[in-house]
Amino acid sequence: MSNAAAETTGGHAASGSVLRGSGVQGSGVQGSGGPTRPSPPRSGGRPSLRALSSGGIVLGSAVLLLASVLVAVVLGQADITVREVWTVLTDRLNLSFLQIDAVGLGAQQPSDIRADVIWEMRLPRAVNAVVVGAGLAVVGAIMQTLTRNPMADPYLLGISSGASTGAVLVIVAGFGSGLVGVSAGAFAGALLAFVLVLVFGQRSGTLTPVRMILAGIAIGQLCGALTTFVILWVADPHATQDVQFWLSGSLAASRWSSLRIAAVVLVLALLLCLWHARALNAFAFGDDAAASLGIDVNRVRWVLLVACALLTGVLVAVSGAIGFVGLLLPHAVRFLVGPDHRLVLPLSCVLGGAFLLWVDTVARTAFDPRELPVGVVTAILGVPAFIWILKKRQVRA
Amino acid sequence: MTITSAQAPTGLNVHEISWSAKGTLIVDGIDLRAPFGKITGLLGPNGSGKTTLLRAVARLSTPDRGVVHLDGTDLAGLRRRELARRLAVVEQHAGTDLDVTVLDVVLLGRTPYRSALQSDSEHDRALALDALRQVRMADFADRKWGTLSGGEQQRVQLARAITQQPSLLVLDEPTNHLDIAHALSLLSLVQRANLTTLAALHDLNLAAMYCDHLVVLRDGRVEASGTAAEVLTPELLRDVYDVHADVGTHPVTGRPLLTFHPPAGGDLG
């Protein structure tokens, strides 16, 4: 599971494919175990990625993510250019020495309105998408490991819906619509929903994936109904829009101010999870196996599940309940780099951010000037993946 | 006293262990000894408390009372990580949905030796590969867990346990899902590991063949203990298992060999 181990994996696979080419390997292992061996394209393609140093993979993806932000901000109405984005960005961040005209290429200053579109609308929306996508992917990865359920996802298990209900109740009860209050309500709702799913998803102490999903659907439906009921009961002029925001998510209302809590919680939660990465690896064969490897199973589980609920809560407070990101991304990442959490967690973060950024950009621009709810797009991508996982993983009933 | 016991390892000593579930005593004040470097077989019918006792020894559950000493150290006083460096467990069946490689699995055995942010050292990898050689799985290091047979998976779990460098190996019916060839090969490998071992076993002939010392449980108490020849008598088999058997001598190992009779009238009881 270390870099070194990963390198060996890559090395052996490489020599294996050479052997396959010369036909030497046909005798022993492949002859008898042919049908059970992983299919050649996968064993050939993956280890080469694994062989790259883990730091390199994460760093490369992070650079890709930054480039994605710049490009995504450009797309859409108003024909903004990358150069304008760069000028505004360096200007507002007081990094004018990085501006292109400082390098001697010359650049015209964008008009105030265009600068505002970039700085007040496009950029915060892009960064919000990155933070929410990153957070949901990390939550999904942790939940899939701790519950040993490949279909775990904050949305499918009703956690996001619980967060929405909590947030809406706080707003309606008049505890204030400030982000701290809403986030706290969302956290409480997420935690309550999570505990309920764990209680109803188990049978004589054993969590089974299918039971969990069923419990999650029930809790999610209940919370969705409660959210709708509460909003329509209060019925302000934007009611239906609000219902849609809380039930399937949107990044349209993103502002810089809404980012702060989510970004801080994301960083703290990611550090906490990375600290437990080795312990998470030990969960591969279940709770008892982890305990017999020296892991304090109950402590790790509760610390990380509460962290997941907190992160889900603050993300939902910003973006509503966006589904399937937490389901899809961890599987994609494990497919790329294997199951070691020391690599899976940071890469889920980076790729989750990039994924939701692009999905939101599509949602925003595909039917310009109308906007698709971002949750609609994640569901269109997520449901086929869900079915694929269901078939491929032979999920324990 | 403590110094002598530290110098001359004494193996496992279980004293007065009791464990109950919902008011029912499952394990009732058990005393047992697993001699240093030997294989001790834990026998008994279903529900006699074998697994419960093993879980209490491995601290996967907390007994109501009783103490467990390993080579003179009270295990209850150890932190979980320290415990995992002295005691390794192989379960009946280990499964995972994850796409881990064999080497990944064996390296899990180094978990109790590494802090959160440390990666596996060359030393860890050398230990893991050595353990894989010990269980005759060296060529499988890069194979995916899901492509292994049940017997191969148990050998890899044994290699993982060896990589923990434990003083005690706890096996909970490790051959249950294996065919006879894999069962024999697994127990031979356990024998060659030369570790103090406590193994719950179902197959009495396998137990007679591989265990140096046997402990028979019945209704949560120790019914008999000693060598296979001392313990596996027709009387005990009738009393504890409710079966009739002839006890002969194995032509190769010289250990007891049990031949079971069909129940009278072809029915139970």
- In this structure, what DSSP letter does residue A324 have? S
Tens of pLDDT, residues B92-118:
988 888 889 999 999 999 999 998 777
Instruction: Average the pLDDT over A53-57 and give the result.
Output: 77
Average pLDDT of chain B to the nearest whole number: 92
- pLDDT for position A193: 95
Q: Is residue A82 part of a domain?
A: no
H or E stretch at A273? helix A256-275
Query: In this structure, are A244 and A146 located in the same domain?
Result: yes
Query: Does one domain contain both A45 and A135?
Result: no
| pLDDT score of A128 more than 80 | yes
pLDDT at A205: 72
**Which pLDDT value is given to residue A290?**
95
Q: Is the pLDDT of residue A323 over 60?
A: yes
pLDDT band of residue B268 (cuts 50, 70, 90) is: low
Domain assignment of residue A221, yes or no: yes
Structure tokens at A240: 């239906």
pLDDT per residue as tens digits for the range A306-316: 999 999 999 99
Q: Do the Cβ atoms of B98 and A282 come within 8 Å?
A: no
Higher pLDDT, A395 or B11: B11
Give the pLDDT confidence score for residue A30 in this predicted structure. Answer: 36
> Contact A124/A117 with Cβ under 8 angstroms?
no
Interface contact flag, A291 B60, Cβ < 8 Å: yes
Beta bridge partners, B25, equal B20
pLDDT at A22 over 60: no
Same domain, A24 and A159: no
Nearest to A228 by CA among A217, A244, A216: A244
Class of domain B2-266: alpha beta
CA distance B96 to chain A (A): 5
Contact A277, A342 (CB under 8 A): yes
First to last CA, chain A: 29
Q: What is the mean pLDDT of residues A327-355?
A: 93
B165–A contact, CB cutoff 8 A:
no
Over residues A28-34, mean pLDDT: 36
DSSP class of residue A35 equals G
Chain A residues whose CB is inside 8 A of the B101 CB are: 5, 9, 338
Highest mean pLDDT among A57-66, A112-121, A319-328: A319-328
Which residue from B minimizes the CA distance to A284?
Answer: B96
CB contacts, 8 Å: A293 with chain B = 84, 108-109, 111-112, 164
Range with the lowest mean pLDDT among A223-237, B81-95, B166-180?
A: A223-237
Q: How distant is the Cα of A48 from the closest Cα of chain B, in angstroms? A: 13
Q: How far is B47 from chain A (nearest CA, A)?
A: 18
Instruction: Write out the residue range of the structural domain in which residue A26 sits.
Output: 4-31+40-51
Q: Residues of A near B (CB-CB distance < 8 A)?
A: 1-5, 8-9, 12-13, 16, 29, 33, 36-38, 148, 150, 275-279, 281-282, 284-286, 288-289, 291-296, 334, 338-340, 342, 393, 395
Confidence of residue B169 (pLDDT cuts 50, 70, 90): very high
Give the per-residue pLDDT at B86.
96
**Nearest beta carbon to residue A294 from set B84, B96, B147:** B84
pLDDT at B6 over 70: no
State how far the Cα of A322 lies from the Cα of A202, in Å rounded to an integer. 26
Q: Which residues of A touch B97 (CB under 8 A)?
A: 148, 150, 393, 395
Measure in Å the smallest separation between the Cα of A358 and chain B Cα atoms: 28
A268 Cβ contact list (under 8 Å, min separation 6): none
Which residues are B27's β-sheet partners? B19
Distance of residue A49 Cα from the nearest chain B Cα, in angstroms? 15
Q: What are residue A203's phi and psi, to 5 degrees?
A: -135, 125
Cα distances (Å, whole numbers) of residue B45 to A254, A262, B39, B202: 65, 56, 19, 8
The enclosing H or E element of A207 equals strand A206-207
Q: Contact B221/B28 with Cβ under 8 angstroms?
A: yes
pTM of the model: 0.84
A46 pLDDT exceeds 80?
no
Measured between beta carbons, the chain B residues lying within 8 angstroms of A13 are: 142
Give residue-wise pLDDT tens across range B215-226. Answer: 999 999 999 999
B152 — contact with chain A (CB < 8 Å)? Answer: no
What mean pLDDT comes out for the span B190-208?
95
Asked whether residue A34 carries a pLDDT value surpassing 60, the answer given is: no
Q: Which of A336, A388, A328, A374 is nearest to A352 (CA)?
A: A328
Cβ separation of A5 and B125 shorter than 8 Å?
yes
> pLDDT at position A272, please?
97
- pLDDT more than 90, % of chain A: 42
Cα–Cα dist B14/B69, whole Å = 6
My answer on whether A18 and A161 are in the same domain is no
Look at residue B187 and tell me whether its pLDDT is greater than 70: yes
Number of folded domains in chain A? 2
- Greater confidence (A231 vs B156) lies with B156
In-domain check, residue A226? yes
Distance CA A374, CA A370 (A): 12
3-state helix, strand, coil split of chain A in percent (to 5) is 75, 0, 25
Chain A nearest CA to B267, separation (Å): 33
pLDDT higher than 70, residue A78: yes
Query: Cβ separation of B97 and A9 shorter than 8 Å?
Result: no
Say whether A37 and B147 touch across the interface (CB within 8 A): yes
CA dihedral of residues A43, A49, A50, A53 (deg, nearest 10): 160
CA B179 to chain centroid: 18
Residue A272, in any domain of the structure: yes
Mark which residues 62-101 of B lie under 8 Å from A by CB.
80-85, 87-89, 91, 94-101
Are residues A13 and A160 both part of a single domain?
Answer: no
Q: What is the pLDDT of residue B97?
A: 83
Per-residue DSSP letters for chain B? Answer: -HHHHHHS---EEEEEEEEEETTEEEEEEEEEEE-TTSEEEEE--TTSSHHHHHHHHTTSS--SEEEEEETTEEGGGS-HHHHHHHEEEE-S----SS--BHHHHHHGGGGGGS-TTPPPPHHHHHHHHHHHHHTT-GGGTTSBGGGS-HHHHHHHHHHHHHHT--SEEEEESTTTTS-HHHHHHHHHHHHHTT-EEEEE-S-HHHHHHH-SEEEEEETTEEEEEE-HHHH--HHHIIIII---EEEEE-TTT-SEEEEEPPPGGGS--
Q: A107 pLDDT band (50/70/90 cuts)?
A: low
User: Residue B269: pLDDT above 80?
Assistant: no
pLDDT at A32: 38
CA distance B5 to chain A (A): 25
pLDDT at residue A2, rounded to an integer: 40
Q: Are A188 and A166 in contact (CB under 8 A)?
A: yes
Among the partner residues A278, A282, A289, nearest to B91 by beta-carbon distance: A289
Nearest chain B CA: its distance from A160 CA (Å): 25
Looking at residue A35, its pLDDT comes to 38
Are A308 and A215 members of one domain?
yes
Whether A43 has a pLDDT exceeding 90, the answer reads no
Q: Where are the domains of chain B?
A: 2-266
Query: Can you give the pLDDT at residue A244?
Result: 80
- Measured between beta carbons, the chain A residues lying within 8 angstroms of B60 are 288, 291-292
Pairing relationship of beta strands B245-249 and B221-226 according to DSSP bridges: unpaired
* Selection from A192, A166, A194 nearest residue A317 by Cα: A166
> Is B103 in contact with A295 (Cβ distance < 8 A)?
no
pLDDT score at A59: 87
b/e map A31-67, b = 16+ CB within 10 Å: eeeeeeeeeeeebeebbeebbeebeebbeebbeebee
**Average pLDDT of the segment spanning A121-126:** 91
Find which of A292, A297, A303, A394 to mutate to test the B interface (most B CBs within 10 Å of its CB).
Answer: A292
Alpha helices for A174-255 (secondary structure H): 179-200, 209-234, 239-248
Tally A–B CB contacts below 8 A. 115
Q: Is the pLDDT of residue A4 over 60?
A: no
User: What distance in Å separates the CA atoms of residue A353 and residue A325, rounded to the nearest whole number?
Assistant: 10
CB contact under 8 A, B111 and A36: no
DSSP conformation letters of B247-263: EEE-TTT-SEEEEEPPP
Higher pLDDT, B183 or A9: B183
Residue B9, pLDDT above cutoff 80: yes
* Res. A222: pLDDT tops 80: yes
On whether both A257 and A369 belong to a single domain, the answer is yes
User: Nearest-CA residue of chain A relative to B161?
Assistant: A293
Closest chain A residue to B90, measured at CA: A289
More confident call, B25 vs B7 = B25
A163: closest CA of chain B, how far (Å) = 29
Predicted ipTM? 0.91
Residue A39 has pLDDT above 50, yes or no: no
In a domain, A88, yes or no: no
State how far Cα B95 lies from the chain centre. 18
The model's pLDDT over A283-314, given as tens digits with 9 standing for 90+, comes to: 999 999 999 999 999 999 999 999 999 999 99
Which amino acid is located at B206 in the chain? L
Confidence of residue B182 (pLDDT cuts 50, 70, 90): very high
The residue among A373, A281, A382 whose CA lies nearest residue A326 is A382
Contact (CB<8Å) B94/A281: no
pLDDT at site A118:
87
Q: What is the mean pLDDT of residues A71-87?
A: 85
Residue A8 confidence (pLDDT) = 37
CB contact at 8 A, A290 and A297: yes
Cβ–Cβ of B124/A289 closer than 8 Å?
A: no
Nearest-by-CA chain B residue for A11: B142
